[in-house]
Structure 1
């Protein structure tokens, strides 16, 4: 099993690394003391098993799990036993109360092994971005187009809404499924939102008009050819 650990305490991460190193059948592929970075890594590289602290300064561990598009098997590692019920309601495999022994850790891993199945990554229907001081879920079907603003992107949504987040257009493009098209160095559009195309202007159903650059013009013309 591949595993990832997220805990804001470096000592706790060292213990998990040590214990995983002693256990056959499990490999700790990454660990993070920054919950925001760790959450994104889990989203991009889903593990079989996630060791997760609950009480963290950036994101509460329970909220982090709820924000994942496809949560992996969970083992909570925390010093706060009052969260145990909520942890098990999220169908956690086990709940390790700090400080825990190697024997207790070993028992949790054996329990996880009973549930383990080769990881199958489902197709996500959304992405998460950090905006307005929190992780925000955005459904792909709600996106009209995405605009680059230097170091930020502006995600234009249905009903005139938008979300501004610190992210490059290249990075967000890697998270988008088929059906989104790059038409300019500053714009990505949802193909379902295209109304018409004339010259170098793309008109969207919302009424917005966007420029099309020479680089992306051939791909757009090919896509819009009658079948």
Structure 2
């Protein structure tokens, strides 16, 4: 498996650093570097790639605007010296947002995340289908192992994913949308505000579900389907 990538940055030293880092990872194939953003954009029109490393503040065009203009968007990792574009990178569904000077450890985390997502999207993941979910949180793509999820809480336009050991992950996604991505055999809606991992249910009593950590209400609308799922 090779992930084809290019790097666009008006700073030659930054380009050399990113190119050197890329060469350390056998699964990455660098097919081009560009100091001129418009030249990079022209290359992308005729040469689709899997992953784009790109600066944001460049003299000819903003990196965010270049990404927004692409018809076939690759995975994107922004590399910039400026913190104030993080939210815009989130809106563009960037894999990650790296602040310069970029150290190898942080770069490694970003490209390994891109590798995981590439496998996930192309059906190359060794995990059984339906065992993981990718969401955008904290300005980067986050992989959630579904076996670790206890329940998902609706917060209007957002959801909060509660896991057993780590802190909750908050992402911009309605509860209905995440339900479409979850395996029905393992996750059930029990309330307009909650979806639970039925593997984490310890008991049901008085219209309340006791999970490993939390206790949640069950509405009349969902109690029967929940009992049927547990009896299978």
> TM-score, normalising length from structure 1?
0.53
In the TM superposition, what whole-angstrom CA distance separates every residue of 1:80-129 from its partner, at most 9, and x where no partner exists?
A: xxxxxxxxxxxxxxxxxxxxxxxxxxxxxxxxxxxxxxx78961421111
Give the direction of change, closer, same or farther, for the CA distance of 1:124–1:12 in structure 2 (3 Å limit). farther
In the TM superposition, what whole-angstrom CA distance separates every residue of 1:169-225 from its partner, at most 9, and x where no partner exists?
A: 11111111231111111111001100111121111122x111112221210122234
Secondary structure of the 1:216 match is helix
Corresponding residue number in structure 2 for 1:136: 142
Does residue 1:185 correspond to 2:192, yes or no?
Answer: yes
Please state how far the C-alpha of 1:69 moved relative to its aligned partner: 5.8
Please state how far the C-alpha of 1:16 moved relative to its aligned partner: 4.4
Does residue 1:149 correspond to 2:158, yes or no?
Answer: no
Structure 1: stretches of 5+ with no match in the other structure: 18-31, 40-50, 74-118
Corresponding residue number in structure 2 for 1:203: 210
Secondary structure of the 1:159 match is coil
> TM-score, normalising length from structure 2?
0.52
For 1:16 and 1:224, the matched residues in 2 are separated by: 50
For 2:166 and 2:75, the matched residues in 1 are separated by: 37
Please state how far the C-alpha of 1:131 moved relative to its aligned partner: 1.0
For 1:158 and 1:183, the matched residues in 2 are separated by: 19
Structure 2: stretches of 5+ with no match in the other structure: 8-36, 49-65, 80-88, 97-109
Secondary structure of the 2:176 match is helix
For 1:205 and 1:224, the matched residues in 2 are separated by: 16
Corresponding residue number in structure 1 for 2:103: none
Asked whether the 8 Å contact 1:6–1:52 carries over to 2, the reply is no
For 2:200 and 2:77, the matched residues in 1 are separated by: 40
Task: Choose the corresponding residue for 1:212, options 204, 218, 223.
Answer: 218
Aligned length: 150
Please state how far the C-alpha of 1:65 moved relative to its aligned partner: 3.2
In the TM superposition, what whole-angstrom CA distance separates every residue of 1:5-29 from its partner, at most 9, and x where no partner exists?
A: 9999654443348xxxxxxxxxxxx
Give the direction of change, closer, same or farther, for the CA distance of 1:38–1:182 in structure 2 (3 Å limit). farther
